[in-house]
Structure 1
Amino acid sequence: MSVLLNFVIGFFAALIGVIPPGLLNLYAAKISMKEGRKRGLMFSLGVCITVMLQTYIALVFARILDMHPEYVTILQQVGLGIFICLTVYFFFIAKDTRRQIPEGIERSKTNRFFSGMLLALLNLLPLPYWLYVSITFAGFGWFSFNQLELLATVLASGIGTFAMLAIYVWFFRKKEQPKKKGINMNYIIGGITAIISVITFFKIFNSF
């Protein structure tokens, strides 16, 4: 019963965590629009592998970090630096997503899989998120840190994340000969990372 409970908590926590438009789900949507849904799904699968690893690490250290909240502050500081770098990248360095893809160029699905893994590595939010979720539910006696239950949660986090990313991918169709320029999605992603940077900054500032 505890394994099933951990799985359900892990699935819905992952699903809810990816619902708000963020870096990874909007990037998956952008790939779907530019290159098709298959490559968007491959990117999402790569993201899920990394998310499962991050979930495992977070759960292993959940109780330790709960007794030492200063470690969570360190994670927030590292995350702040990463999101500032991402904001600069998407606003000033990344290529304009409104440019058409030249005919005859094929992008590797394998490359999209690994790009999903690498981009997810830059997102440290799952670490404090899963620390909070696991410790909170453990306090109610609904979450177990035994090895089998922990693995069930890790698997559920991957499935839940992929399910929500797949929804984003599915509802963004591949662009075909657009008649007019739309919005550069890099600006949207950059704006989101900027907002996250500001929120993280104030959280760190208030902790001092």
Structure 2
Amino acid sequence: MEEARIFLIVYFAALFGVLPPGLVNMTVAKTCIERGKKNGMLVAIGASIVILIQAFVAVLLAKYIFDHPFVQRVMLRAALVIFIILGVYFFIQAKNKKGAPSHSKKKNKNSLYKGMLIAALNIFPIPYFCAIAGGFNVGVGVSYNWFKIIAFAAAASLGSFTSLYLYVLSFIKIENKAEKFAKYSNYFMAGLMLILVIVTIFRIYNS
């Protein structure tokens, strides 16, 4: 069955695509250490919801994006601005860091929205899933096969969540080192943003 094949391949593509340290998974790990496993899970769930939407949009826009390189360049420039702003933010947070914050019900409630916001700021999944959709001819034909599109988006979301959940399980094991991790995590995130800025600039000049 074509839908099942698409689901499995996209699932593992999303899972392995999120495994390398990045904005979303490191936010999940950082939240686990600072606010506990429950909040880390909520961030992962929030991010997965947005990734579901991003994958769905990527499929619908696949043909348009492939036919219009200008759109790719605009998306990369938008990503560059976002990563610069986030890099400055995390560096300032690192300078002001005074240890791991305490847990609170308000923070628990906001973790889901935090995951959604971080995932929304990370626009790289859209061209990534567009490329995969193009390989499967999902969303690039004259008419849309909605069963394939739903299978594609669901697999992208579930695969990403599986990878993020692995981060929750891994980082919760070093909870006793939470204070040290909290102290340096913002520096790491700022450094990660710098790397993403460099990668994005490279992609802009080579697109």
The TM-score bracket by the shorter chain reads: 0.7 to 0.9
| Residue in structure 2 matched with residue 10 of structure 1 by the alignment | 10
What is the correspondence of 1:1-208 to structure 2 with a 5 Å cutoff?
A: 1-93=1-93, 99-102=99-102, 105-138=104-137, 146-173=145-172, 175-176=175-176, 181-182=180-181, 183-207=183-207
**Displacement of 1:96 after TM fit?**
5.4
Question: Secondary structure at the residue paired with 2:171?
Answer: coil
Structure 1 CA distance for aligned equivalents of residues 117 and 180 of structure 2: 29
Structure 1 CA distance for aligned equivalents of residues 146 and 94 of structure 2: 41
Could you tell me the percent identity over the aligned residues?
34
TM-score by length of 2: 0.88
Question: Secondary structure at the residue paired with 1:87?
Answer: helix
Assess if the C-alpha contact under 8 Å between 2:19 and 2:163 holds in 1.
yes
Number of equivalenced pairs: 201
Question: Secondary structure at the residue paired with 1:61?
Answer: helix
Farther-moved stretch of structure 1 (2-11 vs 144-153): 144-153
**Displacement of 1:94 after TM fit?**
5.7
Farther-moved stretch of structure 1 (49-58 vs 92-101): 92-101
Q: Which amino acid aligns with 1:165?
A: L
**CA-atom RMSD in angstroms:** 2.3
Q: Which amino acid aligns with 1:88?
A: V
Q: Which amino acid aligns with 1:25?
A: N
Q: Which amino acid aligns with 1:167?
A: L
Q: Which amino acid aligns with 1:189?
A: M
Assess if the C-alpha contact under 8 Å between 2:79 and 2:123 holds in 1.
yes
Structure 1 CA distance for aligned equivalents of residues 5 and 175 of structure 2: 41
- Bigger helix share: 2
Question: Secondary structure at the residue paired with 1:101?
Answer: coil
Taking a change above 3 Å as real, the CA distance of residues 145 and 181 of structure 1, as seen in their structure-2 partners, is: same
Per-residue deviation, residues 31-60 of structure 1 (Å, max 9, x unmatched):
111121111011100000001101111110
Per-residue deviation, residues 54-90 of structure 1 (Å, max 9, x unmatched):
1111110101211112211111111111111111111
**Displacement of 1:145 after TM fit?**
5.2
**Displacement of 1:93 after TM fit?**
3.8
Structure 1 CA distance for aligned equivalents of residues 5 and 28 of structure 2: 29
Structure 1 unaligned segments of length 5 or more: list them.
Answer: none
